[in-house]
Structure formats: structure tokens, C-alpha cells
């Protein structure tokens, strides 16, 4: 009888161990599934952001190209000069803009070439001020850390919505790069023929905001406002903070 009790106790313990092992395996499988789901979710989120950026950029480049060609077509007598600048612009669009990141130096040079093309359609008497305040010794100025075509929307809007006829019309564009920060300030007098307040944002405006939020979250500041019939847009990107976050991740 004593042996029977021992055998029964052994069987109970064995069954208990099997049950415990079964539930332990189930718990491990659940944890593994949870980990796989988290990894798949993160991978999917990254893929979505990548596809979203590719979609935005594929919409942006043809839009920019069309606007540039329109500027050249409207003043054929300056075609030679325009094509010289256009060559630099096309090189950037075709070869650099498909890179994930470019140097601030290349982006600013591209924007200045584009401004030269846009100047063709305005009168020589029109007040266009373009200033650059660049610290070329800055550590990140020659590093590939800036999203390509990130400066273009604000410049395009100025030429699109500026009042080119009134005596006090103007466009002012200032590039500044110092302390590892890129700043772009664009201002123009709003044309009465195309009220800025009533027009919907174009592809470029939507694209800019979305790209900044995806690429430089919490590392940028974008302000747009109207003051005394002047439209002012200011963009600042802290590239050092962005690089620090990228290295930390």
C-alpha cells in the first residue's frame, strides 16, 4: 500500500510537471509571437514611411521640373543663359535628389541656380534680394545630412504669389548656415490678383510639411504668416540635433 501511494504521488507530480511544461511552452510561444508582431509592426511602419517619402518625392520632382520649364518658355530670348542654369538644376534633380540625403552645400547651390532661372520672368527693375550667410567651416556643411529639395517649396511660392507689378513689390530670400543649423527666410508682397489666403496649398506645400515631419521630427521649425500684405515663410532645421538622434537610435 505504501508503494501504491508513492507511485500515485509520482504520477501526480509527473502530470503536474507536464502541465507546467505545457503552459511554459505556451507562454514562450506567446512571448515569441508578441516579439515577432512588434518587429513586424516596426518594420511595416518604417516601410510605410519610406514609401510615403518616395511617393511625395516622385510627386515633387515632376512638379518642380514643370514649373522650371514654364519659366524658361515664357522668356525665350534668355534661353541660352537659362539652359546653362537648367543644366545644373537637372543634374541635381536627376542624380542628387534621388539620394536620401545631400550636403547643405549642394542643396543651397541648387536653390541659387533655380532662383537664377526664376529671375528670367521678372523685370530687371523688380526688387529681388538674395542673401547668403554661410559658415563653410561648419562641421556638417559638407556632410550628407540634408534631405534634397527641402528648400524649394518656399522659394517657388514666393515667385508664384508675389505681386510683380506694384511699385513696392519685392521678393527677399536669405539662406543662413551656422552652428550646424540651416535657416531659410523668404518674404514677398502678395499679389492682389492671386490672394494667398484663399488659395489652397499646392503639392509642394503639403509635401514640404510631411517630409519635414517624417525626416526631421522635433528638429525643425516652420513658420508661415502674413504681415502688412507681405507673406513671410521661415524654415530652420537643426542638423546637429538630427544627427545626434540618428546616432543614438
Summarised one tens digit per residue, pLDDT across range 128-146 is 999 999 999 998 999 999 9
Q: In b/e form, how buried is each residue of 219-249, taking b as 16+ CB within 10 angstroms?
A: bbebebeeeeebbbbbbebbbbebbeeeeee
Q: Evaluate if residue 187 carries a pLDDT over 70.
A: yes
The answer to whether 203 and 153 have CB atoms below 8 angstroms apart is no
The answer to whether 239 and 180 have CB atoms below 8 angstroms apart is yes
Give residue-wise pLDDT tens across range 75-121: 555 666 666 677 777 777 776 767 789 999 999 999 998 898 888 77
Residue 188's DSSP bridge partners are 171, 231
CA angle, corner 74, sides to 71 and 234, nearest 5?
30
Q: Evaluate if residue 30 carries a pLDDT over 70.
A: no
Please state the φ and ψ torsions of residue 190, each to the nearest 5 degrees: -75, 135
Q: Per the structure block, which three cell numbers stand in for 186?
A: 523668404
In the chain, the domains with their CATH numbers are: 62-248 (3.30.565.10)
Write the DSSP symbol of residue 87.
Answer: H
The answer to whether 156 and 64 have CB atoms below 8 angstroms apart is yes
- Residue 39's pLDDT is 67
184: helix, strand or coil: strand
**Count of CB atoms within 10 A of residue 6's CB?**
10
Q: 0.75 cut: is pTM over it? A: no
Question: CA torsion angle for 52, 53, 59, 61 (degrees, to 10)?
Answer: -170
| Continuous segment of H or E residues that includes residue 55 | helix 2-73
Amino acid at each position: 500500500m505504501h508503494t501504491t501511494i508513492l507511485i500515485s504521488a509520482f504520477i501526480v507530480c509527473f502530470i503536474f510537471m507536464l502541465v507546467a511544461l505545457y503552459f511554459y511552452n505556451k507562454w514562450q510561444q506567446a512571448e515569441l509571437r508578441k516579439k515577432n508582431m512588434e518587429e513586424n509592426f516596426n518594420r511595416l511602419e518604417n516601410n510605410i514611411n519610406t514609401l510615403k517619402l518616395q511617393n511625395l518625392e516622385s510627386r515633387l520632382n515632376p512638379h518642380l521640373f514643370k514649373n522650371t520649364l514654364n519659366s524658361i518658355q515664357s522668356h525665350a530670348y534668355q534661353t541660352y543663359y537659362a539652359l546653362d542654369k537648367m543644366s545644373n538644376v537637372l543634374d541635381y534633380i536627376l542624380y542628387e535628389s534621388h539620394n536620401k540625403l545631400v550636403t547643405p552645400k549642394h542643396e543651397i547651390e541648387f536653390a541659387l541656380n533655380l532662383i537664377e532661372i526664376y529671375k528670367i520672368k521678372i523685370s530687371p527693375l523688380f526688387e529681388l534680394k538674395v542673401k547668403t550667410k554661410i559658415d563653410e567651416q561648419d562641421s556638417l556643411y559638407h556632410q550628407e545630412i540634408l534631405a534634397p529639395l527641402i528648400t524649394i517649396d518656399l522659394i517657388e511660392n514666393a515667385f508664384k504669389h508675389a505681386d510683380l507689378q506694384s511699385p513696392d513689390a519685392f521678393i527677399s530670400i536669405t539662406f543662413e548656415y551656422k552652428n550646424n543649423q540651416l535657416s531659410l527666410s523668404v518674404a514677398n508682397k502678395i499679389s492682389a490678383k492671386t490672394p494667398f489666403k484663399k488659395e489652397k496649398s499646392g503639392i509642394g506645400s503639403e509635401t514640404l510639411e510631411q517630409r519635414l515631419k517624417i525626416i526631421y521630427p522635433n528638429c525643425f521649425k516652420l513658420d508661415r504668416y502674413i504681415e502688412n500684405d507681405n507673406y513671410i515663410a521661415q524654415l530652420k532645421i537643426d542638423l546637429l540635433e538630427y544627427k545626434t538622434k540618428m546616432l543614438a537610435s
